[in-house]
């Protein structure tokens, strides 16, 4: 169906109010990645059960599989059906053009990640291209997020231990964060403090003292990517420090796949996929609800 420009702008205003509330009330909003309609339903049910605002996010792979306009329509339909506060986040958009398409489709949150697509991009390139997206987003009021350099991992399950000496080389610095925000005009800074994309055999360790210093130096929103596999107490503290958005993907994917494999094994003669999915929905929903509780966003929805 698509939204009118007026409706898109109104949604973006509400999204900005949500970020303001998160800062004032010391909670973080979960940005939950969806691979398909089933994952979307699980996120919406969790948001409804916990009365929590949520960001429903897709990266380029999901965009190519589902389509920007289809994602927008699906989220709007389920948002109305479940009576929830939900927004759409374009995660790790690899180029100016892709980010602009997300803005045009009415996404309220846009993460432009030049360094993810081009690891050799200079900071000057990143600032220039991010600034162009920030300027373009003013038309709808979309909230733009970025970071000055690449930090590793991938949204998958990893067998190797975390090499923290290498990871620390990609940590954000308070002064670097301040300068990047000032140079680009972004609304949200994606901080690197030990968070890492994907799920590893050991728990992640976040440098909360560094996060406090970044918070002191910046007056914009702060996000944390790579939330999967992180002990929940870090999220509780990060929200109190002033993180407004936390991304979750791999934990949901693991729950989805493991549960689906279990259901298929237990029901070898069932071919009606719709009958196999309820237990899978529930497993993903449990993961999302657990994160919502840790983020402190329960009972924070405004519908």
Catalytic residues: 91
Judging by beta carbons within 10 Å of its beta carbon (0-12, 13-18, 19+), is residue 247 exposed, middle or buried? buried
CA-to-CA distance for 196 and 9, rounded, in angstroms? 33
H or E segment to which residue 69 belongs: helix 68-82
CB atoms within 10 A of CB 122: 12
Residue 185 CA: distances (Å) to CA of 32, 132, 144: 25, 10, 9
End-to-end CA distance of the chain: 21
Phi, psi (degrees; rounded to nearest 5) at 225: -90, 170
Question: Comparing C-alpha atoms, which of 172, 227, 162 is closest to residue 197?
Answer: 227
Residue 189 near residue 222 (C-beta atoms within 8 A): yes
CB atoms within 10 A of CB 73: 16
Burial 40-69, CB ≥16 within 10 A → b, else e: bbbbbbbbbebbbbbbbbbbbebbeebebe
DSSP output for 106-166: T-SEEEE-HHHH-TT--HHHHHHHHHHHHHHHTTTT-EEEE-SS---EEEEE--SPP-HHH
């Amino acid at each position: 169906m698509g939204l009118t420009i007026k409706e898109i702008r109104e949604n973006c205003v509400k999204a900005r109010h949500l970020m303001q509330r998160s800062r004032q009330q010391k909670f973080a909003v979960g940005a939950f990645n969806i691979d398909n309609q089933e994952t979307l339903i699980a996120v919406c049910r969790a948001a409804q059960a916990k009365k929590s605002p949520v960001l429903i996010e897709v990266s380029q792979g999901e965009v190519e599989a589902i389509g920007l306009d289809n994602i927008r329509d699906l989220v709007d339909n389920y948002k109305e059906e479940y009576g929830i506060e939900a927004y759409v986040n374009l995660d790790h958009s690899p180029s100016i053009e892709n980010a602009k398409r997300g803005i045009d489709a009415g996404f309220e949150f846009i993460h432009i990640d030049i360094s993810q697509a081009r690891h050799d991009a200079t900071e000057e390139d990143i600032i220039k291209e991010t600034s162009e997206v920030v300027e373009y987003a003013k038309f709808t009021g979309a909230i733009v997020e970025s970071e000055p350099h690449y930090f590793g991992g991938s949204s998958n399950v990893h067998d190797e231990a975390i090499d923290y000496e290498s990871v620390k080389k990609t940590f954000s610095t308070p002064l670097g964060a301040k300068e990047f925000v000032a140079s680009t005009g972004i609304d949200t800074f994606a901080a690197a403090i030990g968070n890492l994309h994907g799920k590893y055999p050991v728990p992640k360790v976040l440098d909360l003292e560094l996060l406090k210093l970044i918070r002191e130096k910046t007056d914009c929103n702060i996000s944390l990517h790579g939330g999967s596999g992180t002990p929940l107490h870090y999220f509780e503290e990060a929200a109190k420090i002033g993180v407004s958005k936390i991304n979750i993907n791999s934990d949901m994917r693991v729950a989805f796949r493991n549960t689906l494999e279990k259901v298929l094994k237990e029901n070898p003669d069932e071919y009606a996929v719709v009958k196999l999915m309820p237990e899978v929905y529930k497993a993903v929903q449990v993961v999302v609800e657990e994160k919502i509780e840790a983020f402190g966003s329960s009972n924070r929805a405004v519908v």
